[in-house]
Structure 1
Amino acid sequence: MRENPFREDREELKELLKQYENLRSGRGHAFLEEDAFERIIDYFDDRDDLTSALEAAETGLHYFPYSSQLLIKKADLLIATRKYQDALDVLEHAELFDSTDINLFILKTDAYLALDQQEKAVQLLQEALLQFDGEERIDLLFELADVYDDYEEFDKVFDCLKLILEEEPSNEEALYKICFWTDFTGRNEESIRLHHKIIEDLPYNELAWFNLAAAFQGLKLYEKAIDAYQYAIAIDEKFDYAYRNMGDAYIRLRKYKEAIEALEKVLELTRPEEVIYEAIGHCYHRMGNNAQARFHYRKASHMNPDDSKLHYKIAQTYINEKHWENAVKQLENAMRLQRNVPEYNLAMGECKMEQGKIKEAIQCFGLVVRSKPKFVNGWESLIRCLYKGEFYEEAAEQSLAALEATEGKPVFSYYYSAALFGMGKSKEALLQLEKGLETSPKLLKKFLELQPVALQNNQVVDLIARYKKGKKM
């Protein structure tokens, strides 16, 4: 047994390089074996000295002109130096001496792809698949999958990975890749069938359980997905991606407590990520725990201070608590990063309105409707704000603009009616109220929120009563 094989190999290579230099310079007559030339070529290749590597290949072929291995190494170097047609010529030559070397097909494929001859690459690999089996066939299928990926034939990528797993169900690379391509191609039903079959043979393969769960999740079968993720983490309790996806599935089911537990497990197992803190914050937000939501949004924001959305979400927690000043500060942070986001301006407008800063609020809402003219909430907020500020004439004008922009949404007939009442134009107001009642009676509450005193108006009460009576009849 050698005491220091690495050192001995290094010394042996050093001696080979010395003999090679002597051979090239004519200073010695040492005979180098074919495999010695292969080692010398690899030495230069590993150091990115492609010129010297090619020289070594040429020298070796001078002594061993029928060596398919040296020809293949030369072709590989030619591809690396972008001499693709020369590489194909060398590979054709190599094939005369050994047509069963899989590297012939892989290197030819690389050359064809570089020459933008995808059809030839696909045809070559498909023919090669008939000649090889076992590990070599698996390698060729991976190569073919990469070809299809390069040329955006994504369903065929999935087909190749499926063939690999049908032949070798435990192939980790294929199991990892097919999860992505299942989601990308939407072929969830096929993935479910494939992974059920794999699990029948390999019940303790956590990747197969994970892929099965992900396919269920792709079909929005979240309960089934969670069950499969549970099997995956029972096999591998440190499977952080299973916890991550399970957290997402629980969120979809609005099971926020369970989602938090799964996502906190992710934080235990891996380096903390902004997206996980944000997701936990979202869960607490939905549960009405604004303090915890804020805490986790802030953690996410510290990791990515340039994400305006996180400042907006923190502001939303303050809005829920009616802490308008704190909400405004967070919205200002968000708007320094992204000024013209309609949702930010809408929230800022609401805060300003609650603070009694009506003109500032109107300005914010005006930005919203200009950037999103079909956004109903923006128009509603603008008109409510104008009404609250007793700008009835402007509220009436904006109600008409909203009716036009939103293709006659009934709520704006009610708002137009309220504005007309505010202006003292009762007759026109009653006509608009009747129009609203005819098109969408459920929205009467929107009118009453603006004009609660209208219920003291006998004509309004009679109109509503007459309308309800007519409906009953």
Structure 2
Amino acid sequence: MKFNREEENNFSITRYESMLRSNDVKFFDSDEFESIIHHYLENGKIAKAKKAISLGLSQHPSSVNLKLLQVEVLVFEDRLEKADNLLAQLHALEPENEEIYIQKANILSKQNNHIKAIELLMMALSYTNDVADVYSLIGMEYLFMDDFENAKINFMRCLEADEQDYSALYNIIYCFDFLEQHQEAIEYLNMFLNKNPYCEVAWHQVGKQYYDLKEYEKALAAFDFAIISDEYFIGAYLEKGKVLEKLKRYNEAIENYRITLELDDPTSFALLRIGKCHEKLGNDDLAIQHFSKTVHEDPLLDKGWIAITDFYLRQRNYQKALYYTNKAINIDGENVLYWKRYAKINNRLAFFEEAERGYRKALELGNYELETWLNRSDILRFLGESDAAIQNLYQALEFYPENAEIQYRLAGIYYEMQDFEKGEYHIRKALEQDYEYHIVLEELFEKVFNLTLVRNIISEYQ
């Protein structure tokens, strides 16, 4: 009875680990050690891989392949000088071994010497039987240099050598996308599909290109072909659902999202989209039910919490909106989107101190939108903290130096504080920047607006 390769590898690993437990040293040929080491490296068990390399070299001290695996581990551990020295010794023994050039290129890549790494990989092409793998590595080096055209060319060469290398196909499309060459990507994919008409990955990518171009009917057809090629392709159903939403065919979108739930464990994305579709259809109970399932499935998905909060905001049910926003903040207190809503809801509920805290927190987390600065200053003024409001507005000016709304607010607050000199300075600045916006003074600072000296200044700019 013959074992297949995988069974042989499993047998070698089982026998090897049994040896380690018993401390009874057994002989393994170098090929067995290679498969054992590869198994550990692929599973991220570096310490076990190092032990296997050590034992392997003790039994096969002249094995170049085992020494190359030792180099791979040294590179992984950033012990680049030692790896380089070992490669120099191996190159003297086997100058036509492509793996030596590949590992040397890996070292150079880690040292950000990508041009030299590519030169060595080009040399490796002369000796390798697996040109697809080497072209893929060359493509990655070009990606590191943001040279997307050359990266694309080499990933294409990789795919020509191995049409089943879908990672190369994804990388090609990544390059097209970065270069915003959607039409060229479609032409390339169609050429690939002429030779591989049932490649679900290629159809899926065609659909995504048409989606980006807003050609939704063509995108829909492409995703249908992806599903015909592989009826279990979850990604195609999800993308088809997104297209159907764009076409306002919400019931069909729900049906496609539901298929993904049947094919695999529920995903928060599918549950969220089903909820959004039900909301568009006016099925409020089903919408909130699916939004709740979304956050239960993935409590860290901010889009789920935002969907629930915004649902209740649209219904003007501010108490429930605040309840869910607080829950979201308790899970992730560093999410600026939660704090923006926290501030907005508290403002609507006239909980001004809490609203100010929300806007302040949003600013601390890097949300420098004009609306955030303005709302916070208005609340601080309402709370009687004029100095803090002024400081907030001056900070806003650093980001929006030409904004008249900020200047009108500064003018209004200074006039309220009886600082007429600074008030006049800022109102003149504001009027120079945008005369029409003096309505801000009328709406927010009615008493200031009605001052004769203020009206006289405004009249100068009519």
State the TM-score, normalized to the length of structure 2.
0.66
Which residue of the partner structure matches residue 84 of structure 1?
87
Q: How does 1:427-466 map to 2 (within 5 A)?
A: none
Q: Indicate how the Cα distance of structure 1 residues 112 and 397 shifts in structure 2: closer, same or farther if over 3 A, else same.
A: closer
Q: Take 1:57 and 1:260, find their aligned partners in 2: how far apart are those partners?
A: 61
Write the distance in 1 (CA, Å) between the matches of 2:365 and 2:169: 45
Do the aligned partners of 1:275 and 1:300 also contact (CA within 8 Å) in 2? Answer: yes
Q: Percent identity?
A: 20
3-state SS in 1 of match to 2:266 = coil
Which secondary structure does the structure 2 equivalent of 1:203 belong to? coil
In structure 1, list runs of 5 or more residues that go unmatched.
18-36, 59-70, 96-103, 130-135
Moved more, 165-174 or 405-414: 165-174
Tell me the residue number matched to 1:108. 100
Q: How far is the alpha carbon of 1:195 from its aligned partner? A: 1.4
1:334 matched to 2:328: yes
Any idea what SS the aligned residue of 2:193 has?
helix
Q: Partners in 2 of 1:90 and 1:431 — Cα distance?
A: 81
Whether 2:339 is the aligned partner of 1:345: answer yes
Indicate the SS of the match to 1:81: helix
Secondary structure of 2:232 counterpart? coil
Give matches, 1:49-64, under 5 Å.
49-50=52-53, 53-54=56-57
CA apart distance, 1:329: 2.4
Contact 1:260/1:280 (CA < 8 Å) preserved in 2?
A: yes
Aligned to 1:62: none
Conserved 8 A contact 2:237-2:257: yes
Per-residue deviation at 1:79?
0.8
Contact 1:331 1:348 in 2 (8 A): yes
List per-residue Cα deviations over 1:400-419 (Å, max 9, x = no partner).
64773532423346656877
Aligned to 1:28: none
Residue 76 of structure 1, CA deviation: 1.1
CA contact (8 A) 2:118 2:138 kept: no
Determine the C-alpha separation between the residues in 1 that align with 2:329 and 2:203. Answer: 44
Aligned-pair CA distance for 1:77? 1.5
Report the alpha carbon displacement of residue 451 of structure 1 after superposing the two structures with TM: 7.8
Of 181-190 and 322-331, the range deviating more from structure 2 = 181-190
Superposed CA deviations along residues 34-90 of structure 1, whole A, max 9, x for unmatched, are xxx9x94323444454466556657xxxxxxxxxxxx9xx32112123343333233
Per-residue CA deviation, residues 102-158 of structure 1 (Å, 9 max, x unaligned), is: xx43x23334335536255223134348xxxxxx4xx21322312442572563442
1:9-48 maps to which residues of 2 (within 5 A)?
A: 40-48=29-37
Q: Partners in 2 of 1:80 and 1:372 — Cα distance? A: 46
Partner AA of 1:146 in structure 2: L
Counterparts of residues 176-195 of structure 1 (less than 5 Å)? 176-183=170-177, 188-195=182-189
- Which residue in 1 is equivalent to 2:126? 127
What is the match of residue 225 of structure 2? 231
Q: 1:449 to 1:238 in 2, by over 3 A?
A: farther
Residues 1:140 and 2:134 are matched in the alignment:
no
How many residue pairs are counted as aligned between the two chains? 403
Give the secondary structure class of the aligned counterpart of 1:238.
Answer: coil
Query: Which residues of structure 2 form unaligned runs of 5+?
Result: 16-26, 38-51, 72-85, 109-115
1:423-456: CA deviation from partner (whole Å, max 9, x where unpaired) = 999xx9999999978865776876776589999x
- Please say if residues 210 and 228 of structure 1, whose CA atoms lie closer than 8 Å, have aligned partners that are also in contact: yes
- 2:113 maps to which residue? none
Q: Displacement of 1:378 after TM fit? A: 1.4
TM-aligned CA deviation for residue 271 of structure 1: 2.1
Instruction: Give the one of 192, 197, 210 matched to 1:203.
Output: 197
The 5-angstrom pairing of residues 30-429 of structure 1 reads 40-48=29-37, 49-50=52-53, 53-54=56-57, 74-82=63-71, 83-92=86-95, 104-105=97-98, 107-113=99-105, 116=108, 118-128=117-127, 136=129, 139-149=130-140, 152-153=144-145, 155=148, 156-166=150-160, 172=166, 174-183=168-177, 188-217=182-211, 222-249=216-243, 253=246, 255=248, 257=250, 259-282=253-276, 291-307=285-301, 310-339=304-333, 341-369=335-363, 374-385=368-379, 391=384, 397=390, 401=394, 404-405=397-398, 406-412=400-406
CA distance in 2, matches of 1:288, 1:394: 47
How far apart, in 2, do the equivalents of 1:243 and 1:196 lie? 21
Cα distance in structure 2, aligned partners of 1:284 and 1:446: 40
Describe the shift of the 1:179–1:6 C-alpha distance in structure 2 as closer, same or farther (beyond 3 A).
same
Letter paired with 1:404: L
Q: Is the 8 A contact 2:370 2:396 kept in 1?
A: no
Matched position secondary structure for 2:207? helix
Contact 2:125–2:134 (Cα < 8 Å) also in 1: no
The answer to whether the 8 A contact 1:88-1:108 is kept is yes
Deviation string, structure 1 residues 6-48 (Cα, Å, up to 9, x no partner): 49x99xx99xx9xxxxxxxxxxxxxxxxxxx9x9432344445
Structure exhibiting the larger radius of gyration computed from Cα positions:
1
Shift of 1:294: 3.5
SS at match of 1:149: helix
Give, in whole Å, the separation in 1 of the partners of 2:185 and 2:296.
39
Does the CA-based 8 Å contact 1:199-1:205 persist in structure 2? yes
Rounded to whole Å, the distance in 2 between the matches of 1:356 and 1:306 is 29
Q: Cα RMSD over matched residues?
A: 5.0
Instruction: Report how far residue 184 of structure 1 moved.
Output: 5.5
